[in-house]
Amino acid sequence: MTEISAFLDDCRVELQNETVGKILNKKVPRRKSDAGYKILTKNGYIISK
């Protein structure tokens, strides 16, 4: 998987979680990445430690 496709996949997961949270009126937790990897969110990068 290329870096671009990985970021697009992160964005898709982020949008799905936000949509499900709104439908269920609950906060869906952010996904956890492996240590040292970046996750692309609508607010920017999260680097997992």
What is the predicted pLDDT for the residue at 47?
A: 60
What predicted TM-score, i.e. pTM, was given to this entire model? Answer: 0.59
What is the predicted pLDDT for the residue at 12?
A: 85
Residue 46 pLDDT exceeds 70 = no
> How confident is the model over 7-45, as pLDDT tens digits?
788 778 888 888 988 999 988 777 766 666 676 666 766
The 3-class secondary structure across the chain, one letter per residue, is CCHHHHHHHHHHHHHHHHHHHHHHCCCCCCCCCCCCCEEEECCEEEECC
What is the predicted pLDDT for the residue at 23?
A: 92
